[in-house]
Amino acid sequence: MQDPFGRSISYLRVSVTDRCDFRCVYCMSEDMSFLPKTEVLSLEELDRLCGTFIRMGVRKLRLTGGEPLVRRGIMTLIDSLGRHLQTGALDELTLTTNGSQLEKYAVDLFAAGVRRINVSLDTLQADKFAAITRWGKLDKVMAGLKAARAAGLQVKINAVALRGVNDDEFDEMIAWCGREGFDLVLIEVMPMGEMGDATRLDQYLPLSMARAQIQRRWTLDESDYRTGGPARYYTVRETGGRLGFITPLTHNFCESCNRVRLTCTGTLYMCLGQNDAADLRSPLRASDGDADLEAAIREAISRKPKGHDFVIDRRQAPTAVPRHMSVTGG
């Protein structure tokens, strides 16, 4: 599959649920209203949709949420998708998680063919973690990370850079990830979902500033390491670990975008930062055959835009798109 700008679409991110057991301040409102179950695709329908994308050229599949591991029966889907790894049709099956359920599922994930996971963790301080996630408990995530490492999973820590919240912890997190053997990726706040103007603007920290701060202590060597995602990586000379930056606002990565995003309702977003979307649930349910579904996917890819319109500025509304990050899965 190629979009209008000649980019090959080989990476599908699938939000298997909009529900989560955390309420992170940059992702959700505390009083979130979730989708009724009647609107959410069944695990069998998600399996069929993913299989169609893989047939059409997707080589990397990432499951997201919400929190993917809180979906009832999720391992049934992950086990089924693992068959595409065995046939060679899929290069990688992975997921992004908040880590709360990893202690329970780490061994099963590895058995299904998952080898690498992203864990969202913005602080190493328990009180601050509780404040950021509202409902989360740091010790539970740490137990999950220990279980993941014991199961053989490679771990990448995703940390959203929050001005005045965790910007004093970057050095500590780099050192900790170096000791644990985890990669670390810092991410700029993205203007998605209504959070309140002051909250969004006050959260935003340009990663150019974070990098300058980090380089006062650490030596960052250029790296050609890539995972297929948007992070640009460096090797931290003092620890040997990898440090990545995802900068949708200060330096966007649209020119090399190979991704589309499928929600748990069967809506396909061709760009995280645009509102245009395609309904795949209707053709999926209209026929047992996949011809109409494939046609709908091709038509959607033909509308993939050149880039996003993310802006955070006090002179204009800080919300580029109205849906929350948890709806699209990041």
Residue 274, pLDDT score: 79
254 marked ligand binding residue: yes
- Band of the pLDDT at 315, cuts 50, 70, 90? very low
In this model, does residue 298 exceed pLDDT 90? Answer: yes
When mean pLDDT is compared across 36-45, 84-93, 101-110, 235-244, the lowest value belongs to 36-45
* In contact, 18 and 264? CB cutoff 8 Å: yes
The answer to whether the CB of 273 falls within 8 A of the CB of 230 is no
Q: Is 26 annotated as a binding residue?
A: yes
Q: Is 190 annotated as a binding residue?
A: yes
32 marked among binding-site residues: no
Q: Is residue 20 annotated as involved in ligand binding? A: yes
pLDDT of residue 227: 82
> 173 among the known binding-site residues?
no
User: 52-61, 140-149, 226-235: which has the minimum mean pLDDT?
Assistant: 226-235
Reduce the secondary structure of 21-45 to three states and give it as a string: CCCCCCCCCCCCCCCCHHHCCCHHH
Is 50 known to sit in a ligand binding site? no
* Percentage of residues in the chain having pLDDT higher than 90: 71
At 280 the pLDDT is 97
What would the pLDDT profile of 93-106 be if each residue is shown by its tens digit? 999 999 999 999 99
Q: Does residue 261 have a known ligand-binding role?
A: yes
For 159-186, what is the mean pLDDT? 96
pLDDT score recorded for residue 12: 97
The pLDDT of residue 39 is above 60: yes
Q: Which pLDDT does position 311 carry in this prediction?
A: 47
Mean pLDDT of the chain, nearest integer: 88
Q: Does domain 11-328 have CATH number 3.20.20.70?
A: yes
188 versus 47: which is more confidently predicted? 47
62 assigned binding-site residue = yes
Residue 36: pLDDT band (50, 70, 90) is confident
Q: Has 24 been labeled as part of a binding site?
A: yes
Radius of gyration of the chain (CA): 19
How sure is the predictor about 313, in pLDDT bands with cuts at 50, 70 and 90? very low
**Annotated binding residue at 13?**
yes
Helix segments in the chain, DSSP class H: 43-55, 74-81, 83-87, 102-112, 126-133, 138-151, 170-180, 197-203, 207-214, 281-286, 291-301, 325-328
pLDDT band for position 204 (cuts 50, 70, 90): confident
Q: What is the mean pLDDT of residues 73-94?
A: 98
pLDDT value at residue 251: 52
Q: Please compute the mean of the pLDDT values over residues 81-85 and round it to a whole number.
A: 98
Is 177 labelled as part of a ligand binding site? Answer: no
Residue 120 in marked binding region? yes
pTM: 0.87
